[in-house]
């Protein structure tokens, strides 16, 4: 997901139809079949498969909500491991961690947390990682993931480790309490 960010930025900047809107009230995605109460007053932009939410800009804090069909040929950028139907939450977490750890440009400093979590009403996992970017900036990333009906849902929160991550983490945690996957 960390490597996805520049692509996300470019895609959204180039997509003429997508515009930044201020988050207000409940966000319902009929296409991705979820509802969530995003942090109010932040900025949101979305494509068909990805929702990006930030308050101060991408480099400072980003929430990404996405879902991916598990039949997709290339699921992850750095690992060729796959998430498959019937995987246990810890197995999904393992693939997500392995994808991060296979990126030679951004070495993972630590897997700080890897625990079961309720994700949108489904059995899922919560992974928290610390990594360093090419320019030496330390980042932390918290990923919620679960499988639902052939889809992998992920909500990721990325921010610089110093100051920013902790600052907005409670907001993200509160948002996750409102996240509901409507698909079965």
Partner 1 sequence: MKRILFILLVALGTLLPCLAGAATSAPVDEDERRLWLQAREEEQRIDSSKAVYHSQEMERYLEKVIRNLVPADQLASMPIRVTIIRDRSCNAFMFPNGRAYIHTGMLAVMENEAQLATILAHESIHALNHHMVKEVRDIKGKTAMTAFLGAISGSLLTPFGQLGALAAVKGHSRELEGEADQEGFRLLTKAGYDPAEAPKVFEVLRREAQAEGSKEPYFFASHPRLQERIDNMKGLLSGIPNGQLTGKTNAELYLQTFGTLILDSAEMDLRAGRAERARDCVSRYLKARGDHPRAYLLLGESYRQDGKKPDPVKAREYYQKAAQLDSGYAEAHRLLGLVAYKQRDLEQARNSLGRYLELAPSAPDRGYIEQMLIDLQQRRP
- Note whether 128 and 141 are within 8 A (CB): yes
DSSP secondary structure code for residue 115 in this structure: E
Among 101, 133, 171, 182, binds partner 1 (CB under 8 A): 101
Q: Which is nearer to partner 1, 39 or 124 (CB)?
A: 124
Phi, psi angles (nearest 5°) of residue 111? -95, 105
DSSP string, 108-152: EEEEEEEEEEEETTEEEEEEEEEEE-TTS-EEEEEEEEEEETTEE
Q: Which is nearer to partner 1, 21 or 88 (CB)?
A: 88
Does residue 74 belong to the site contacting partner 1 (CB under 8 A)?
no
In the bound complex, what is the minimum distance in angstroms from residue 125's beta carbon to partner 1?
A: 8
Stretch that binds partner 1, among 1-9, 31-39, 59-67, 108-116 (CB under 8 A): 108-116
Q: Which is nearer to partner 1, 113 or 166 (CB)?
A: 113
Cα 174 to the center of its chain, rounded Å: 15
Does residue 89 belong to the site contacting partner 1 (CB under 8 A)?
yes
- 3-class SS of residue 63: strand
Stretch that binds partner 1, among 42-50, 53-61, 80-88, 140-148 (CB under 8 A): 80-88
Match 């019937």 to its residue by tokens.
86
Q: Which is nearer to partner 1, 55 or 78 (CB)?
A: 78
Quick one: 19 exposed, middle or buried, by C-beta within 10 A (0-12, 13-18, 19+)?
exposed
Binders of partner 1 among residues 133 to 172 (CB under 8 A) are 134
Among 11, 12, 58, 78, binds partner 1 (CB under 8 A): 78
Binders of partner 1 among residues 109 to 128 (CB under 8 A) are 109, 111, 113-116, 125
- Note whether 55 and 168 are within 8 A (CB): yes
Quick one: 57 exposed, middle or buried, by C-beta within 10 A (0-12, 13-18, 19+)?
exposed
Tokens in use for 151? Answer: 């889809």
In the bound complex, what is the minimum distance in angstroms from residue 122's beta carbon to partner 1?
A: 14
Tokens in use for 92? Answer: 């999904």
Query: In the complex, which residues of this chain contact partner 1 (CB under 8 A)?
Result: 78-82, 88-90, 93, 98, 101-102, 104-105, 107, 109, 111, 113-116, 125, 132, 134
């Amino acid at each position: 997901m960390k490597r996805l960010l520049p692509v996300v930025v470019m895609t959204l900047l180039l997509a003429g139809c997508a515009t930044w809107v201020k988050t207000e009230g409940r966000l319902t995605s009929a296409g991705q079949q979820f509802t969530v109460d995003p942090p109010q007053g932040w900025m949101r932009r979305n494509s068909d498969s990805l929702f990006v939410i930030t308050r101060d800009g991408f480099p400072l804090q980003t929430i990404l909500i996405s879902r991916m069909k598990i039949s997709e040929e290339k699921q992850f950028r750095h690992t060729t491991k796959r998430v498959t139907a019937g995987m246990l939450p810890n197995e999904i977490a393992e693939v997500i961690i392995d994808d991060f750890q296979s990126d030679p440009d951004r070495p993972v400093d630590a897997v700080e947390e890897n625990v079961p979590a309720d994700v949108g009403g489904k059995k899922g996992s919560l992974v928290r990682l610390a990594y360093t970017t090419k320019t030496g900036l330390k980042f932390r990333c918290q990923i919620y993931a679960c499988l639902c009906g052939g889809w992998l849902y992920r909500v990721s929160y990325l921010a610089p480790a110093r100051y920013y991550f902790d600052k907005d983490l409670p907001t993200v945690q509160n948002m996750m309490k409102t996240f509901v996957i409507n698909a079965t």
